Structure 1
């Protein structure tokens, strides 16, 4: 199964992109008052526990795409 989330926001630069799944990391300094930096870390861990993966591509000024891939288990 594949789930894709896209936005047309401000994007994430390549240096920050390598850190987005680290607990408590927050990309945009303008948003330092909001959030704890745990959201993507939790998403990544849950997806890994189910045998999947999360991939991200982003371009500054263009937006980001998050792709979640989960295996389909047949019973």
Structure 2
């Protein structure tokens, strides 16, 4: 959880899309949450973002106990 500017409601459905960013060109590539989403999928977990414009954002991660992550192909 942070107390930053929050995320626009219109942007929330896109935050896990690769290369989605609201930053200026050269300030970010939009891969951070896409990578987090993929890792959580591989570990049979989930990630959700809850945000309120002007109040901050929370990331909720659910990771099943006792389960192993799927094999991830090395690139």
Query: Mind listing any 5+ residue stretches in structure 1 that lack a counterpart?
Result: 1-5
Aligned length: 67
* Deviation, structure 1 residue 32: 3.4
Report which of the two has the higher share of helix: 1
The equivalent residue for 1:71 is: 64
TM-score (norm 2): 0.82
Query: Mind listing any 5+ residue stretches in structure 2 that lack a counterpart?
Result: 68-75
SS of corresponding position for 1:18: helix
Report which of the two has the higher share of strand: 1
* Deviation, structure 1 residue 44: 0.3
RMSD: 1.3
The equivalent residue for 2:5 is: 10
By relative contact order (CA 8 Å, sep 6+), the higher-ranking structure is: 1
